[in-house]
Structure 1
Amino acid sequence: MAEMIYRLPQESRKKIKKLLKLGDDYRSKGEDDLAEHCYYLSRKLAEEARAVHLLKKIEQRVR
């Protein structure tokens, strides 16, 4: 699912937010590996888009 969101032809910030929500959902279900993967993909997109405020949100979740 995360890979599909990552590849969607959509605005980067929307994809980042969807990946963050998906990661949060996985984390709440105890799927930490899947959550980390979602956060990794969202960080990659945020760096490419230079979305500093979203990078800060991602970093808060990864800690």
Structure 2
Amino acid sequence: MCDATLRDWHRKLAPPPEPCGDDATVEEMRAEIARLRKQLKRTELELEILKKATAYFAKEST
């Protein structure tokens, strides 16, 4: 089975991680910051791909 397929299934079916509370340790906060930065980077990449696709299809339809 393909690694990418497993990652996709996990992303779709796994429950989202719980955010740190006010009583979180420094290590937990650092882990959450790292997770959020990774998620932000992926989201920005997806947005960039969508912008390029939109521009491509808009140009193609004229």
Q: Name which structure has the greater RCO, CA cutoff 8 Å, separation 6+.
A: 1
Same fold (TM over 0.5): no
Task: Mark the structure with the bigger radius of gyration.
Answer: 2
Larger helix percent: 1
> TM-score normalized by structure 2?
0.41
